[in-house]
């Protein structure tokens, strides 16, 4: 998966089957909707594999870490609003709260909203 930063945020994608398989191995997640198109379709998601939720969260966390390399997270809260599918191109945008959103190309509403706080150092 390629990623890049521009003036509006970070772009990732397209999400691929091998990327999903790697995430599943790391997460020890054997849910077939992430690994087989037939399973995703049988579960009602359509013909594309579904990206694991923690992978989607990692895109926003990666953007926050790039923007604040010295910061340490104190708390992270994620609100999953939609799925990310094989082939989706993604955009992570940081928000001032602090937090961030993850968008899938072609969809107007975010697929994920994240709020986080950083540890305060003396």
Average pLDDT rounded to a whole number, residues 32-50: 97
Model confidence at 122, pLDDT cuts 50, 70, 90, reads low
* Residue 89 or residue 120, greater confidence: 89
Q: How far apart are CA 46 and CA 120, in angstroms?
A: 44
Average pLDDT rounded to a whole number, residues 115-119: 95
Element (H or E) spanning 5, and its range? Answer: strand 2-6
Average pLDDT rounded to a whole number, residues 64-82: 94
pLDDT of residue 72: 94
Query: Is the per-residue pLDDT at 4 higher than 70?
Result: no
Element (H or E) spanning 21, and its range? Answer: helix 17-27
């Amino acid at each position: 998966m390629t990623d890049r930063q521009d003036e509006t945020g970070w772009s990732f994608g397209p999400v691929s089957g091998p990327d999903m398989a790697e995430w599943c191995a790391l997460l020890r997640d054997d849910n077939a909707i992430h690994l087989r198109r037939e399973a995703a379709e049988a579960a009602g998601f359509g013909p594309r594999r579904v990206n694991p939720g923690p992978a989607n969260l990692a895109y926003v966390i990666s953007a926050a870490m790039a923007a604040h390399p010295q910061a340490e997270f104190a708390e992270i809260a994620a609100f999953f609003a939609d799925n990310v599918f094989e082939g989706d191109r993604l955009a992570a945008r940081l928000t001032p709260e602090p937090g961030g959103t993850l968008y899938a190309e072609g969809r107007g509403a975010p697929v994920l909203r994240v709020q986080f706080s950083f540890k305060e150092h003396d």
